[in-house]
Structure formats: C-alpha cells, structure tokens
Amino acid sequence: MVPIARLFLFSLLTLFLSCADEFVPENTLDPDNPDYVPPIISIVSGPAEGQTLLTSSVVVEFSGNDEDMLFRTKLDSSYWSGWISSKSITLDYLDEGDHIFSLQGRYTTGDTSNVISIGFAVDAVGGPAFLFYPRQRTAATGQMVTFQILIEEVYNLAGAEFILDYNPSKMIIEDVRQGDLFNTIGTPIFFSEINPGTGNLIITSAVWGGDDLGFTGTGVIAEIDVKLLQDGSTTIGFDGSEEMRGPENNEIGILETVDGFITNP
C-alpha cells in the first residue's frame, strides 16, 4: 500500500508537470505566445508614393500596432536616426529631385518590423534661380564640407556674378572651384575672390566662344569647401546683388535664391 505522504507528493508533482506543459506567456509581445503578432508599422500621412512636392519641407506621421513602439527613420542614403517614441518627423531642407523616406518600428522587447519606404520628388524652386546643393550640410567643429552652387532652369545664359555672405567667426572658405556648367558650349572664364575679413566670396563666371549662344538648363557654376569653426548652426547665402546675363549682355531675371545651411550632428 502506497503511503499517504508519497501519494500526496506524487500528486503535486503530476499537477506541476501538467501546468508546466500548458504554460502560456502572458506577454503578447513574447514570440512564444501563440497570440504573438510581429511589429507592424504604417505611414499615416506625408508624401504619397511618386508624388512631387512643391515645398522643401514636409511632415511625415506614422504609427505601429503597439502603443509603446519605437521608431527610426532614414532619408535617402543617410544614416538611420536613433530610436524615438515620437510618431512624426519633419523633413526640412529637402533638395530638388528624387528622395526615398524609410521607416522601421521596434517593440520594447527588441523585435523589429520590416522596413517600409516611400519614394517622392521635390520641385520647390522655380528658375532662373541660384541655389545651394545640398541645402543643408551637417558638420562637426573643424570639419570641412562641400557645397555646389547651382543655376536652376535658365535659358541662354552666357555669364553670371554673385556674392556670398557668411559669418567669418563661424566658418572659413577653404577652396573655390569652377563648376562644369559652361564646359560643353565653349571656353569657361572663372574668377573668385575670398574676403575673410568681411565674410564674403565674389564669384564671376562666363563662357567665351563656342557654337552655342549660351547655356540652357540646370548646372553647377561653382563648388566651395567650407570649414565650421564653432559649434552651432550657421548660414552662407546670396547677398541680393546676383546677376545673370545672356549673349548680348541682356539681363536675365532671377526668380529665387536658396542659401546654404550648416548644422552640428
């Protein structure tokens, strides 16, 4: 006959093993839970796939299937952002042309969603115009970055002159180079003068000879290398005296200018 104490212990052990076999995690974010749903994200508002924006700034809103989900974002080939709890982001200083915005979500347990992306274009600048490309650069103090100066949507351009203003206590101009805008229609003429004391740069460029009368389209008239001297943001931009001229020295009206912006990481 089985002792009562042994029978009692055997019953407890059987009950424990039975419960262990039927244990189901209560956390629905646990992949071992039969009710587990992987992270799912969606873009709620912002540019539509294939849309062309007529502005250089847009707000993108997104959501996930868990209230505490974190998100990270990426624009074009830049690095991923850090994980944030915010469900929106403002994309500023968008350059002309095509872009891809990417989004990923993450549970607090670390499980990540698939990456979703939307492609869109920006056409915010109407020409003829002068503009910096890219509009914004990120630089640490002491780091050098490069801007291109574009002439946008011009017809029959033979020469241009402009002055760039900047704060010489926050940045210095290391180098100025001729762009390739006039290379295909004749012999380019290019002059630049850096005035670090007053914080300005004068650039004059023109074309001589060639079969074509002038340049038509969008192209790079100059490239400049600048070094950030202090922490914080600073601007380099056009002073309002810029000119475009045609082959007969006729003035070409300028509709817009777009400055360059440098900020810390």
The pLDDT tens digits of the residues spanning 88-144 come to: 999 999 999 999 999 999 999 999 999 999 999 999 999 999 999 999 999 999 999
Task: Kindly report the length of the chain.
Answer: 265
**96 inside domain:** yes
Are 162 and 230 a contacting pair, CB within 8 Å? no
At 64 the pLDDT is 96
In this structure, the answer to whether residues 94 and 148 fall within a common structural domain is no
What mean pLDDT value characterizes the chain? 89
In this structure, the answer to whether residues 96 and 149 fall within a common structural domain is no
**27 inside domain:** no
In this structure, the answer to whether residues 144 and 255 fall within a common structural domain is yes
16 has a pLDDT exceeding 50: no
- 8 — pLDDT class (breaks 50, 70, 90): very low
**70 inside domain:** yes
At 34 the pLDDT is 77
Structural domain including 53 reads 41-122
Domain boundary among 122, 139, 171: 122
212 has a pLDDT exceeding 90: no
Among 232, 233, 220, 242, which Cα is nearest to 261's?
233
**134 inside domain:** yes
In this structure, the answer to whether residues 157 and 251 fall within a common structural domain is yes
Could you tell me which residue, 1 or 174, shows the higher pLDDT? 174
Q: How many domains does the chain divide into?
A: 2
For residues 15 and 9, what is the distance between their CA atoms, to the nearest angstrom? 10
- 260 — pLDDT class (breaks 50, 70, 90): very high
Among 190, 200, 253, which Cα is nearest to 223's?
190
182 has a pLDDT exceeding 60: yes
What one-character-per-residue DSSP string does 214-232 give?
SEEEEEEEEEEEEEE-SSS
Among 41, 161, 159, which Cα is nearest to 107's?
41
Give the three-class secondary structure for 20: helix
DSSP structural state of residue 18: H
Report the share of the chain in percent with pLDDT over 70. Answer: 87
Domain containing 154 — which CATH number?
Answer: 2.60.40.680
191 has a pLDDT exceeding 80: yes
**H/E run at residue 261:** strand 260-263
In this structure, the answer to whether residues 116 and 133 fall within a common structural domain is no
**4 inside domain:** no
Strand-pair partners of 148: 133, 223
Phi-psi region of 188 (alpha: psi -120 to 50; beta: other; left: phi over 0): beta
- 210 — pLDDT class (breaks 50, 70, 90): low
Could you tell me which residue, 21 or 258, shows the higher pLDDT? 258
At 24 the pLDDT is 45
> pLDDT tens digits for 124-134?
999 999 999 99
At 236 the pLDDT is 97
In this structure, the answer to whether residues 68 and 142 fall within a common structural domain is no
